[in-house]
Amino acid sequence: MIQHVVVWKFKESTEDLQNQFVEGLKGLVGQIDGIRSLHVGRNENPNETYDVSLVMDSLLNPTDLEETPELKELKEKMKELKNSRLKSASSYDYD
């Protein structure tokens, strides 16, 4: 099992697109075989520098996950959030 932890920082005034992105992330469960659990949340701490975080348990390694059509489509939507960026990403193998 691999746990993926990802955080994003978004451009200001993109709340509608951010909401679509978050809902798209939540929708990946059941669309991509191998995802066992997925949690997405918005940052509630104003002292932090990220807006959205994702924690996902998966049977897929990061490379295989990136190649799924569903994730590719979601990444295309991310491009609409101009000046937004992936803040950090880590993947951990665990039993």
**Tokens, residue 35:** 């995802």
Half-sphere exposure of 73 (CA within 13 A, CB side): 10
Task: Say whether pTM exceeds 0.85.
Answer: no
- Name residues of the chain where pLDDT drops below 50: none
**Which residue's entry shows tokens 């099992």?**
1
pLDDT of 95 reads 67
- Spatial distance between the Cα atoms of 10 and 94, rounded to a whole number of angstroms: 30
- Spatial distance between the Cα atoms of 61 and 48, rounded to a whole number of angstroms: 28
pLDDT of 51 reads 87
pLDDT of 12 reads 81
Starting at the edge strand that comes first in sequence, how are the strands of the sheet with 2-9 ordered?
Answer: 35-42, 52-58, 2-9, 85-93
**Which residue's entry shows tokens 């669309």?**
31
